[in-house]
Amino acid sequence: MIKAVIFDLDGVIVDTAHYHFIAWQRLAHELGITFTEKENERLKGVSRMHSLEIILEIGGVTLPEAKKEELATKKNSWFVEYIEAIRPEEIFKGVKEMLQALRAQGFKVALASSSKNAETVLRLLQIKNLFDTVVDGTMVKNSKPDPEIFLLAASKLGVSPDVCVVFEDAEAGVEAALAAGMKCVGVGSANQLGKAHAIVKSTADFSISKLNSL
């Protein structure tokens, strides 16, 4: 019996993935690296520094650690600027109602985002109160595809991994959920998320009644 549902943030609850992309593209442009939306798929769900390393690898550029820290901080300051304007209306259609319905039906609900800006985004969206626990990039050592973040969410909820379902839009996130021993609903296209137990176009397309038959 499924007891808990764990949600990723970027790309599952709100489209901050787009703001990450334009901030990374701006940085790549400054570095003379061509960075497309297709390549951006590799960045979804992975940490800030790992994202930068993927972009540098695409451009064939090697930089010292201190410079990488400086560039990652610069990208983040642009990202923080872009997301300042996020409003509650930007939550994907039906997601707020889904979170409320899950809790009304007795499921525990967690947020597990690799982002160190997750608290800010939740505050701007005014939905923090809809989660029993929030785990973010400031609390883990290893980013997705490592299962650490989902295992921490389960332990904070007081449930074992095998009674959890994860909603994820990133390939790295689906891999992390499976490595944690959890069921996973992929949000997006089968090309990237083929390993998930089910795939939906958008989060609220998934019917809660199917949680126990994944």
**Contacts of Mg ion in 51-90 (CB under 5 A):** none
> 79: Cβ–Cβ under 8 A, 6 or more apart, which residues?
19, 20, 23, 117
Asked if 135 interacts with ligand B16 (CB under 6 A), we say no
Asked if 45 interacts with ligand B16 (CB under 6 A), we say yes
Among 33, 109, 115, 131, binds ligand B16 (CB under 6 A): 115
Which of Mg ion, ligand B16, none has residue 183 at its interface (CB below 5 to 8 Å by kind)?
none
How many Å is the maximal CA-CA distance in the chain? 52
Nearest approach in angstroms of CB 176 to ligand B16 is: 9
d(C-alpha 33, C-alpha 61), whole Å:
9
Asked if 44 interacts with ligand B16 (CB under 6 A), we say yes
Among 8, 41, 146, 148, binds ligand B16 (CB under 6 A): 8
Q: 130, 98 in Cβ contact below 8 A?
A: no
d(C-alpha 180, C-alpha 119), whole Å:
23
Catalytic residue at 15?
no
d(C-alpha 55, C-alpha 182), whole Å:
30
Among 15, 58, 76, 160, binds ligand B16 (CB under 6 A): 76
What tokens does 148 get?
Answer: 């650490």
Catalytic residue numbers, as ranges: 8, 10
Residues in touch with Mg ion (CB under 5 A): 8, 10-11, 45, 169-170
